[in-house]
Structure 1
Amino acid sequence: MSDIIQLLPDHVANQIAAGEVVQRPASVVKELMENAIDAAATHIKLVVKDAGKTLVQVIDDGHGMSATDARLSFERHATSKIKSADDLFSLNTKGFRGEALASIAAIAHVELKTKRSQEELGTQIEIEGSEIKAQEVTVTPKGTAIAVKHLFFNIPARRNFLKSNTVELRHIIDEFHRVALAHPDIAFSMFHNGSETFNLPKSNYRQRVVNIFGVKTNEKLVPVEEETEVLKISGFVGKPEFAKRSKNEQFFFVNNRFIKSPYLNHAINSAFDGLLKDGSHPSYFLNLSVDPKTIDINIHPTKTEIKFDDEHTLYAIVRASVKHSLGQFNIAPVLDFERDRNLDTPYDYQNKRASTPSVEVDRNYNPFQEEQNFNKRSLAKPFKKESAQWESLYVGMESKGTKTGSNFSQVEFESQPESQGLFNDASAESRQTTYQLHNKYIISTIKSGMMILDQNRAHQRVLYEGLLRSLTVREAVSQQLLFPLQLQFSTSEMEVLQELKEDLEHTGFLFSEFVKGNVEITGVPINVAESEVAIILEQLLSDVQQEVPDTNFSAMDLMAKSMAKSLAIKTGQSLTRMEQEHLVNSLFACKEPSVSPTNRVTFITMSVDDFDKKFI
């Protein structure tokens, strides 16, 4: 029997490696931008077309490469970052695997232009599916410009698994945020389909956060600074009142590398314990500096998860640092119950002396003099003239009554005939058919026994079908606001709202301004209060970013679900008898009354036999 184990060809091995390295266009953006940072670039430009499916280009002004280095960079396990295994435990760079460019070149058309500062001419290389098509000398500025075109052109199955442009662009923006936040000392810019999405100048960390997430973010930030022998923490956390329903503004950076750490995230949530509403998540932008020898960053293909040597100590330090910052800036509640902050001396008056108030008295004031004048004026008024005017209103009434011969001794009243009830039950009108239990459930009697209805889920189903009908028919009614409502959103949130704008208008929202970071709303749906608009849009953005819809139908369906969840009657809300009956009738007028929009049961029934069994 012949041998069956054989070595894979390089292009096949590269395609397999690409499955771990390159999952979507955002993975290419991450790898290329990290390489540009390692090349000591001061300005990095990202150009994207069709959400990265057609083109991902990164241009930097870093060191550049020689002709030999440019050719070797596309070979597997080629890197300038490590030389021995010991270097893996003292890494201060990003692109150290030596697989990124080789994997990208295996599944795309790649064009590389690079030049070092001391050379007059640069190098241009063109690769298609790991095959080098051309290498020649070219004129190019200092640095490196690498363009990745037609991603997954030779793997149609992988290309078919890519999501819609909206979803893929959102992933690219997320990766751009992670890299840009970790390096505020580098200028970044991003262009999508020819339009500028971000332009981030070189700045400090606070300005970088504000430039990415909007001007309003500045007032939400609380600085966190702590330095110990084990860990150095710097950055910001968001004030509790500005907590969001999504986790889009949660960033951990360890040695300038973005990571995901549920363990440290729990430390932040523990520090905010008692300060947040249910379902809200705090915002944080924290940089952790630790000894590279105490962490292992080579445990995950994307390097977003790392292993700490002493996680318990880091947990305690992070939690204590955040809690200290919240208390230091008067964010945490004061434990002095006797203190009334309304009685605190304002800053403007702390150094001023108290002045004795002066009292001025009018010694000529006589209150009895005015009362005497009033009595004299009232006595002088002729009551006879006024009474004569009242008597004139009834002139002719007596003669008219005598003339017609009618008086008030015989009076007839019109009355409607009494309608007979269906069952001739005198107490039918007073009988109550619905009851509310603990402001959560509605109990209604039925022929076979009793029905128990969850008021929140039932109302979600009613609203969901109504909103879906409005989105489909596109005939929603809107109410105008007396004063337009101004709302602030980040650039990534504006991208999502731009996609949902048309569908939102079909539900009743009216927008008069839709520019960078600012949204002006002039009309809202008739069943939406002005104070709920910001909550609804925030919940909608959170649901869209988490569920990631792919088609227009699913986007409309998700929007209807999100708005129904925000507008539905909450648990704990008391309902009148009429409201209870209306909710029950509206639920059973729906197409699918038995389940909520999220496929959860809306009501259960219990028969009389079930009750009889309980008393056996």
Structure 2
Amino acid sequence: MAIGATQGVIMPLRALLEKCLMNAIKLLPDLLISQIAAGEVVERPASALKEMLENSVDAGAADITVQLVQGGIKLIRVMDNGTGISKEDIPLALARHATSKISTLEDLQQVVSLGFRGEALASIAAVSRLTLASRRAEQKHAWKVQAESGRLSPPEPVALASGTTVEMHDLYFNTPARRKFLKTEATEFSYCEETFKRIALSRPDIGFTLQHNGTVRRHLRAADPRSRIAAVLGDEFSQTSVLIDEQAADLRLWGSAALPAYSRASRDAQYFFVNGRFVRDKLITHALREAYRDVLHLDRYPAFVLFLEMKAESVDANVHPTKIEVRFRDPRALHQFVFHAIDKALATGQPASRGSVLATGDQEHKPNDRGNTDMAINEKAGAEFSGYPRQGVMSLKSYISPEPPAAAQPQAFYSALFGVEDDGLKSAQTVLDIHTAGTRAKEPEVPPLGFALGQLRGIYILSQNDRGLLIVDMHAAHERLLYEKLKSALDNHTLAMQPLLIPATFYADSLDIVTAEENSDSLSELGFEISTFSPTMLVVRSVPVALKNADVVKLARDVLSDIREFGASQALTSRRNELLSTMACHGAVRANRMLTIPEMNALLREMEVTERAGQCNHGRPTWFEISLADLDKMFMRGK
């Protein structure tokens, strides 16, 4: 910018500052104070709607109706059947810092209501035309007051059932500069709808109705939390999420967290409530992100509806005018609690909407009048499907393969496929043992991932179970299995080495050679023995047992590259999972590798007893299931 132009900007600012310094200090008018407060509390129509809804919830309403016109800019009307306000208290309800919810400092430190600052309605009234009508059950009729630009009308009688109705007309009519910052009607409505959803999720025991321009957009009956979550976020979220319910000391976390298959491109499906209050907190966000890190793409976001319950004195909700931010007394312990609760649930992978649906053995097929087979709905588990392939959920349970035939796998197949010795197959052998004579007489239980039918293009395993067809990405699945084995072995310091019958040598630059020489202990901890063969060559003498069938040279190069770039200490701590993921990718079976039926079944059985087997190390799904009902639809059977 030119010097003249810069001076043209600075001079008016300097003159304004000098004028401010010369003015005497004076009290601001009440209306201006309220309008300033409104700038903090009422950012847009959705902000006003939030405050009005919270008042209705705090009033004990069982049913709340919201009516919007022009996205809430022209009108927001909130009607509830709560306890109501007496005639004497109605004017106070619109006064600044007047509230019935706290009276002492101790009350402020143990806030249990949503609203408590006593400024919301006063701030809204300062920037709109507001009408408040209310009636308590013992009153003969309701009373109404109107507020505009700080002026309050005397109470007058009005016909109204028990409860309260608040109407906000023409937001920012007296502050046109603020009104210019409002967006289009559609945009403002979307913000209002999001606010409505947050409040509705927090209180499933309350019925909610949302109307916009005379059209009902949402009607939610009082329900249990799971039904409310499904009603607000849809069946897809409900069917691809896991239930959370963990408790430790005075903390309880419950709700639903979506599996990685339901990941989003934005944070539009993230709802976290602390003692019933929707919050956005960096500590919580980080804990949740860490819990999903192992199963989610870096550019994707998890979806969840979670409720944290804790003692009121352990959280400060009075750190932000809109109360969307909170402060915790023991943030470190809370971070660990949230992280472990979500990590545990994702590892187990139990679907929220149907319990361990894949482990239910009491579903039966009944022939219908079309001669085909339909799956009976297991009402107890809620095992209904909604017309699209389902992915990545299973029960971690050992299954015994039935006879016949190719479901029983010799230990040699496991050794070839997973790179483990015979004495390490005790748990797998439990899965693989053929039924005893007494068991053969019984109907065999079909495992969650069924039994392999064949291989498609050397990439996918096709399998069938009680519900239909499963398609498994064999490389992605095997990669996850190896990754979990490597993690567990490294954590338990049991990462065994496999000496190579013929050591692998390769040319290396001086940095790689120095890296190998200086980090031999770290490499040994990772299961590698790499040493100098000549001034320009390295030799790999041992690799982790699970990776003995990998491309040894390429694997060694990548491990050395990671250690060289980030350092051995970081590679074994903060970047440990990334390094192990790279190693697992090298060891996983490749595309176009033809597997036998026993090998395919071995892979399926191993998936069933491995945590997070529904996603590969990069967050992609490892399998999909298509139910018989879905197949019937595809082929239009019965039409």
1:317 maps onto 2:405 in alignment? no
5 Å matches for 1:515-530? none
What secondary structure sits across from 1:68 in the alignment?
Answer: coil
| The one of 295, 301, 305 aligned to 2:325 | 305
Change (3 A) 1:302 1:353: same
Superposed displacement of residue 84, structure 1:
1.1
Per the normalisation by structure 1, the TM-score is 0.54
The corresponding residue for 1:246 is: 266
Does the 8 Å CA contact 2:237/2:262 hold for their aligned counterparts?
A: no
- Distance in 2 between residues matched to 1:351 and 1:133, nearest whole Å: 84
Superposed displacement of residue 185, structure 1:
0.8
The corresponding residue for 2:50 is: 30
- Distance in 2 between residues matched to 1:157 and 1:22, nearest whole Å: 14
Change (3 A) 1:8 1:223: same
The corresponding residue for 2:91 is: 71
- Distance in 2 between residues matched to 1:27 and 1:163, nearest whole Å: 14
Per the normalisation by structure 2, the TM-score is 0.52
- Distance in 2 between residues matched to 1:68 and 1:93, nearest whole Å: 22
Superposed displacement of residue 265, structure 1:
1.4
The corresponding residue for 2:256 is: 236
| The one of 200, 225, 233 aligned to 1:205 | 225
- Distance in 2 between residues matched to 1:218 and 1:176, nearest whole Å: 19
Superposed displacement of residue 178, structure 1:
1.1
Does the 8 Å CA contact 1:326/1:332 hold for their aligned counterparts?
A: no
Query: Which one is further off, 181-190 or 326-335?
Result: 326-335
Does the 8 Å CA contact 2:134/2:143 hold for their aligned counterparts?
A: yes
1:385-419 C-alpha deviation (Å, 9 max, x unpaired): xxxxxxxxxxxxxxxxxxxxxxxxxxxxxxxxxxx
| The one of 95, 103, 108 aligned to 2:123 | 103
- Distance in 1 between residues matched to 2:393 and 2:240, nearest whole Å: 14
1:542-597 C-alpha deviation (Å, 9 max, x unpaired): xxxxxxxxxxxxxxxxxxxxxxxxxxxxxxxxxxxxxxxxxxxxxxxxxxxxxxxx
Does the 8 Å CA contact 1:253/1:259 hold for their aligned counterparts?
A: yes
The corresponding residue for 1:215 is: 235
Structure 1, unpaired ranges of 5+: 357-616
1:140-180 C-alpha deviation (Å, 9 max, x unpaired): 11000010000100000000111111221111111111111
The corresponding residue for 1:116 is: 136
- 4+ runs deviating over 4 angstroms: 330-341, 343-346
5 Å matches for 1:56-455? 56-329=76-349, 337=418, 353=441
Paired amino acid for 1:11: L
Q: Tell me the number of residue pairs that the alignment of Structure 1 and Structure 2 aligns.
A: 353
Paired amino acid for 2:53: M
Change (3 A) 1:116 1:351: farther
Does the 8 Å CA contact 2:242/2:256 hold for their aligned counterparts?
A: yes
- Distance in 1 between residues matched to 2:25 and 2:59, nearest whole Å: 40
- Distance in 1 between residues matched to 2:138 and 2:29, nearest whole Å: 37
Structure 2, unpaired ranges of 5+: 1-20, 351-391, 398-413, 419-424, 445-639
1:77-119 C-alpha deviation (Å, 9 max, x unpaired): 1000110122111110011111111111111111111000011
- Distance in 2 between residues matched to 1:24 and 1:351, nearest whole Å: 68
Superposed displacement of residue 14, structure 1:
0.9
- Distance in 1 between residues matched to 2:242 and 2:123, nearest whole Å: 42
Paired amino acid for 1:254: V
- Distance in 2 between residues matched to 1:9 and 1:355, nearest whole Å: 83
Superposed displacement of residue 315, structure 1:
0.8
Change (3 A) 1:72 1:274: same
1:518-540 C-alpha deviation (Å, 9 max, x unpaired): xxxxxxxxxxxxxxxxxxxxxxx
What secondary structure sits across from 2:290 in the alignment?
Answer: helix
What secondary structure sits across from 2:95 in the alignment?
Answer: coil
Change (3 A) 1:2 1:274: closer
Does the 8 Å CA contact 1:127/1:134 hold for their aligned counterparts?
A: no
Change (3 A) 1:213 1:352: farther
1:430-462 C-alpha deviation (Å, 9 max, x unpaired): xxxxxxxxxxxxxxxxxxxxxxxxxxxxxxxxx
Superposed displacement of residue 280, structure 1:
1.0
Superposed displacement of residue 273, structure 1:
2.1
Does the 8 Å CA contact 1:275/1:332 hold for their aligned counterparts?
A: no
Superposed displacement of residue 345, structure 1:
10
Change (3 A) 1:2 1:49: closer
Larger Rg: 1
- Distance in 1 between residues matched to 2:130 and 2:440, nearest whole Å: 71
- Distance in 1 between residues matched to 2:262 and 2:117, nearest whole Å: 40
Change (3 A) 1:149 1:73: same
Superposed displacement of residue 44, structure 1:
0.6
Does the 8 Å CA contact 1:234/1:286 hold for their aligned counterparts?
A: yes
Change (3 A) 1:277 1:154: same
Superposed displacement of residue 15, structure 1:
1.0
